[in-house]
Amino acid sequence: MALEALRNYKSLIVDYSIIREAGGTALFSEFLDIVVSCSMDIYVSKSFKLLHYCVIHQADTKNAAASNAMKDLCGLLLPERKLHSVQCLETNDFVRSTADIPDSCFVTTANSIFTKRILEKRPEFHNDICIIGAKSINVYHGLNDLILNMPQVRISPLASVNKYLDASVFCNVGDTVLTGDQRKLTLTKRVSSGAEGMVFTTDDPKLVAKIYHKGVITPLRWSKLTKMVSMGIKSVGICWPRDLIFYRGVPVGYTMILGKGKTLGNVFDGPDAMMNNFPKWTRVDITTTLCDLLEKYLYLHMHNIIAGDIQLKNALIFSANSLYLIDMDSVQVDDMPCPVGTEEFTDPRLWGQNFSGFLRKLGDEDYSIAMLVFSILFCGLHPYATRLGKETLREEIVEKNFPYDLQNASEEHIPKGGYNYIWQYLPENIRNMLYNVFKNGASYEAVEWYDAVLSYKEALTSRNMEDEEAYKIFPKMEYHQTAEAAPAEEAPARPMFKTRFQGLNDPNIYSGGLGDQNSRPVNPHKYPGPFVPKEDTGFDNPPTSPFAPPVSPFAAPSERPQATAEPEDNSGDDSGNGVFKKFKKGLFG
């Protein structure tokens, strides 16, 4: 039996990747048999449940096995009080908190978030670790043994090949293309045109086709698309490549679902744009949007995918409950890098590097996730947007001129228009995290942001805030519409009506919105770098979708699974510090 080596341990510290990747297989059944027959204690981190939330919320049909595996695990271990939650999220904290569990072994997979994090962060790690793969199972004795003997991923040699696969063919509306499995699709209407290609609706109402321009498809791009299609991701709201497309035997593009709505950059663009698109929104809707985005990026991380080019332009919003990630063909998959980036969202430590020449790490994405959190919570404002500041935004970023402080002692440099009150009404833990990132250069994992924002959302949904101003998008600001707002999917990029908003006419205001036409630009000529301009997908005003947007699990707050792990009797815990908690049966909501 493949997992017999696990019988040598009294306790297992299990990573969620075992549920997601092994669930539904004979290997997982064997794993459960060993755990039960040996009466083992199983320890998991707080992220175990949070990552499961991300998986079940993406409504991907291939996740059914993970849901069943979780039910089987909890059904067998909860009645025997053998499943323990270690209340840690950050990888180093989790490793330290479990270091003294006697006769224990970590159980994870090669491409799990946990494995990647320990290889990146290199904590003091002496436990045995069992890496379960599709073709092999290996036990390593401590981190050094893992580093020395586990095969490391090297960048694909195709990353340096600049030749193109395309021949002199051109297809347009009315043409019939073939998918990789020889299924015919007719291009019916052009949706958009950008720097890389064109997007067409097809005679399949659920699919659109992206057709590349000549001189765009490199061997790396086509190899990456081939891999992405084989992964079979069909998550709600992620416009993932479904099929490769050929025209007259030549590779020309791929199919995907059609995202609906406007780019986040056009909606989260200050008070006017917010009120124009979603006049009835409250802070609950802001946090719902952000939770959904964070879930999607964590879902990609669990599939060994690093988004790379995170920015407000690369997501569409139809409503707080319906978002789509777009431009997915640029992501980093396995050994194939993401060749592009957006400077304002990229960790300054990566500036000046050729993105096609190296593989990004999860830690490289932490800064981008923090940027996303701030930008959504502050309705499109950049964290380094200041009044009376430097000439360029780039200088503000380099010098970490974050205008907010934890004591609210000075508001001199905070842009006017209510952003100071947004900061003051945020939960203390989120303010601390944002300050530590943008002022002190700290870093938090994506799951830590998800946990913090989810707790914020649940506090708002439960009406735990005494001050009613805490529920407003812009607290303590008097604003109202002077015209009817257009529906979200039809709203123009800039508001067609004026919103009366106290203080917005102050000449000293620097709105600094990431999508604001008046924000300070990063001058690419003055500061050359590796940032390749991304195409404009043209999805800001798409045609009416031929199918309804999916219903998000966030549609009703009451349907949101609650994190119900609570302290119980820890007298039997070796830690003595209260970090271990028993799972309650509310894991599934």
CA dist 551 → 117, 241, 456, 554 (Å) = 33, 21, 22, 8
The pLDDT value recorded for residue 464 is 86
Helix orientation angle between 362-377 and 446-461, rounded to the nearest 10 degrees: 30
Q: For residue 458, what are its two tokens?
A: 């649940």
Question: What average pLDDT does the structure give for the chain?
Answer: 83
List, in sequence order, every beta strand (DSSP E) within 440-518: 479-481, 499-501
Question: According to the model, what pLDDT value does residue 31 have?
Answer: 96
pLDDT at 103 over 60: yes
Confidence of residue 167 (pLDDT cuts 50, 70, 90): low
Residue 570: exposure state from Cβ atoms within 10 A (0-12, 13-18, ≥19) = middle
The reported pLDDT for the residue numbered 168 is: 67
Shortest CA distance to 429 belongs to which of 409, 400, 459? 459
Whether residue 85 is predicted with pLDDT greater than 80 in this model: the reply is yes
The beta-strand segments (E) located in 27-91 are 41-45, 83-86
The pLDDT, as a whole number, for residue 529 is 41
Q: Which residue has the tokens 């994992």?
A: 445
- Residue range 35-49: average pLDDT? 96
pLDDT band at residue 506 under the 50/70/90 scheme = very low
- The answer to whether residue 514 scores a pLDDT higher than 90 is no
Question: In this model, does residue 520 exceed pLDDT 50?
Answer: no
* Local structure of residue 295 (DSSP, 8 states): H
pLDDT confidence of 508, banded at 50, 70, 90? very low
What's the pLDDT at 135? 80
Q: How confident is the model over 541-554, as a mean pLDDT?
A: 32
pLDDT at residue 152 is higher than 90: no
Q: How confident is the model at residue 535 (pLDDT cuts 50, 70, 90)?
A: very low
Q: Phi then psi for 437, rounded to 5 degrees?
A: -75, -55
Query: Residue 582 pLDDT more than 80?
Result: no
pLDDT of residue 479: 65
| pLDDT-derived band at 480, boundaries 50, 70, 90 | low
pLDDT (average), residues 224-228: 97
Q: Tell me: pLDDT of 440 over 80.
A: yes
Residue 79 has pLDDT above 60, yes or no: yes
pLDDT band per the 50, 70, 90 thresholds, residue 236: confident
Residue 573 phi/psi, 5-degree rounding, is: -80, 140
Q: What is the mean pLDDT of residues 60-68?
A: 91
417 has a pLDDT exceeding 70: yes
Question: Kindly report the CA angle at 426 between 421 and 431, in degrees rounded to 5?
Answer: 110
Over the stretch 451-478, which tens digit does the pLDDT of each residue have? Answer: 999 999 999 999 988 899 999 999 988 7
Q: What is the pLDDT of residue 80?
A: 94
Q: What is the pLDDT of residue 163?
A: 85
Q: Is the model's pLDDT at 307 over the cut of 50?
A: yes
Assigned token pair, 559 = 């349907």
CB burial of residue 61 (10 Å; 0-12, 13-18, 19+): exposed
Report the pLDDT averaged over residues 148-162.
91
Predicted pLDDT of residue 516: 35
For the residues 505-532, what does the mean pLDDT come to?
Answer: 35
- With beta carbons less than 8 A apart as the criterion, state whether 199 and 208 touch: yes
Pick the most confident of 82-86, 341-345, 409-413.
82-86
| Nearest alpha-carbon partner for 380 in 298, 311, 458 | 311
Mean pLDDT value across residues 142-165: 91
61: pLDDT confidence band, cut at 50, 70 and 90?
confident
Q: How far apart are CA 246 and CA 177, in angstroms?
A: 6
Residue pair 538/196 in contact (Cβ under 8 Å)? The answer is no
pLDDT at 586 over 80: no
What was the pLDDT predicted at 503?
31
Domains of the chain: 4-152+563-588 (3.40.50.1010), 161-256 (3.30.200.20), 263-501 (1.10.510.10)
